[in-house]
């Protein structure tokens, strides 16, 4: 995937990505009020699948390399790719990342947020806030002529200055008609290194930030990635386009535009 050519999207294709991205943002907003103690992750999955179909789209994760559900739900020590399950019931104090990827008219909108279930601990709140800020600092590093390493460097600097760690084993990715394509976007790295960003590149920035060590393990289900030390992990994800002016967040909900 790393040696593949990076496709530049036309204005018409970026408009398609914007529509898919906006649908993804709306889906997360739609699910937000359901994130309450007592709700199972399978209920979140079922509602996502219903809502997505209702809006003329399909769920990219369902059947993707055999993934069995329509969204990923990653609670507490789960780093990513948690599988919705009827036995997995949200409880007060949990943090849960919900990662959605509707396909609309052939194009993928890939976005995730970490939500609080009831009242978080001060540490969980800080981890989640730092993780969102990591994503936004990574996005702010994007403009034509900047390099892929600038994104990871911005994220890693902020995470580590807060004494958290950056997951190495999962990266952001090019996304368009294909779910995961070139380029890979590490969430750690060195400013000034890596390929140059050009207008028309579209990719995700999706840092996973850990309370403790950055190492992860994959459970026997073949999907669920957890922190090696079983401490907390949080994640946020946007799909972005490099523009002539800088960057456009394709999955930004109109009500969540930063000040
Ligand atoms: N949405 C995830 C990402 O951000 C990928 C999920 S793949 C799945 O790249 F198969 F686990 F659903
Ligand atoms: Co992604
Ligand atoms: Co995703």
- 171-181: pLDDT as tens digits: 999 999 999 99
Residue 257 or residue 259, greater confidence: 257
Q: How far, in Å, from the CA of 109 to the mean position of ligand 1?
A: 11
pLDDT digits (tens, 9 = 90+) for 34-73: 999 999 999 999 999 999 999 999 999 999 999 999 999 9
Protein residue closest via CA to atom 7 of ligand 1: 61
pLDDT for 102 equals 99
The mean pLDDT of 89-96, rounded to a whole number, is 98
Nearest CA-CA partner of 17 in 152, 133, 139, 177: 177
Q: Which two tokens stand for residue 231?
A: 């401490």
Q: How far apart are CA 90 and CA 40, in angstroms?
A: 6
pLDDT for 2 equals 59
Q: Which residues are found with C-beta within 5 Å of the ion, ligand 3? A: 99, 110, 112, 237
The mean pLDDT of 88-98, rounded to a whole number, is 99
pLDDT for 4 equals 82
For ligand 1, pick from 49, 61, 112 the residue to mutate: most ligand atoms within 8 Å of CB: 61
The mean pLDDT of 215-221, rounded to a whole number, is 98
* Residue 160 clears pLDDT 60, i.e. is over it: yes
Q: How far, in Å, from the CA of 193 to the mean position of ligand 2?
A: 22
The mean pLDDT of 234-257, rounded to a whole number, is 96
Nearest CA-CA partner of 56 in 113, 107, 9: 107
Angle of the 122-140 helix axis to the 148-161 helix axis, nearest 10? 160
Q: Starting from the edge strand earliest in sequence, which strands make up the sheet with 233-235, in order?
A: 165-166, 208-210, 233-235
Q: How far apart are CA 134 and CA 186, in angstroms?
A: 13
């Amino acid at each position: 995937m790393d040696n593949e050519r990076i496709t530049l999207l036309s204005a018409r294709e970026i408009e398609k990505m914007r529509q898919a991205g906006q649908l993804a943002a709306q889906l997360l907003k739609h699910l937000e009020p359901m994130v309450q103690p007592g709700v199972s992750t399978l209920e979140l999955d079922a509602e996502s699948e219903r809502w997505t179909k209702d809006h003329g789209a399909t769920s990219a994760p369902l059947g993707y390399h055999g993934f069995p559900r329509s969204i990923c739900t990653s609670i507490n020590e789960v780093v990513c790719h948690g599988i919705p399950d009827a036995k997995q019931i949200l409880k007060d104090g949990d943090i849960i990342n919900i990662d959605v990827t509707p396909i609309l008219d052939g194009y993928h909108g890939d976005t995730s947020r970490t939500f609080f279930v009831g009242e978080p601990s001060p540490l969980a709140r800080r981890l989640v806030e730092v993780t969102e800020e990591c994503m936004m600092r990574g996005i702010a590093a994007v403009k034509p002529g900047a390099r892929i390493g600038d994104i990871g460097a911005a994220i890693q600097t902020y995470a580590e200055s807060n004494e958290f760690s950056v997951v190495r084993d999962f990266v952001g990715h090019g996304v368009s008609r294909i779910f995961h394509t070139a380029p890979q976007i590490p969430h750690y790295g060195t400013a000034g290194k890596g390929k140059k960003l050009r207008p028309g590149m579209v990719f995700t920035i999706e840092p996973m930030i850990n309370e403790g060590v950055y190492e992860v393990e994959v459970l026997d289900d073949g999907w669920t990635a957890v922190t090696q030390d079983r401490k907390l992990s949080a994640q946020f994800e946007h799909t972005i386009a490099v523009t002539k002016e800088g960057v456009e967040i394709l999955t930004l909900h109109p009500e969540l535009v930063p000040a």
